[in-house]
Amino acid sequence: MRCGRGHDEYVVIGGGVRAVARRLRGRTNIELKSPGEIEAMRAAGAVVARTLRLLQNHARAGVSTGELDELAEQSIRDAGAVPSFKGYHGFPASICSSVNEQVVHGIPSRTQVLADGDLLSLDCGAILAGWHGDAAVTVHIGTVAEVERRLSEACRAALEAGIAAARPGGRLTDISHAVQAAALAAAAAHGTSYGIVADYGGHGIGTAMHMDPFLPNVGRPGRGPRLVPGMALAIEPMLTAGGDKTEELDDGWTVVTVDGSRAAHWEHSVAVTDDGPLVLTVE
Q: What is the pLDDT of residues 230-239, one digit of tens each?
A: 999 999 999 9
Given a cut of 80, whether residue 26 has pLDDT beyond it is no
Average pLDDT over residues 36-57: 98
- Which pLDDT does position 28 carry in this prediction? 62
E strand segments, 66-199: 82-83, 95-99, 102-104, 119-128, 131-140, 195-196
More reliable by pLDDT, 29 or 210: 210
Find all residues with CB under 8 Å of 196, minimum gap 6, and list them. 179, 180, 183, 217, 218, 237, 238, 239, 244
Q: What is the pTM of this model?
A: 0.92
- Which pLDDT does position 6 carry in this prediction? 28
- Which pLDDT does position 163 carry in this prediction? 98
Residue 25's pLDDT band, with cuts at 50, 70 and 90, is: very low
Q: Report the chain's C-alpha Rg in angstroms.
A: 17
- Which pLDDT does position 19 carry in this prediction? 43
CB 235 within 8 A of CB 53: no
Given a cut of 60, whether residue 103 has pLDDT beyond it is yes
- Which pLDDT does position 29 carry in this prediction? 86
Measured CA to CA, the distance from residue 135 to residue 126 in angstroms comes to 9
Average pLDDT over residues 47-76: 98
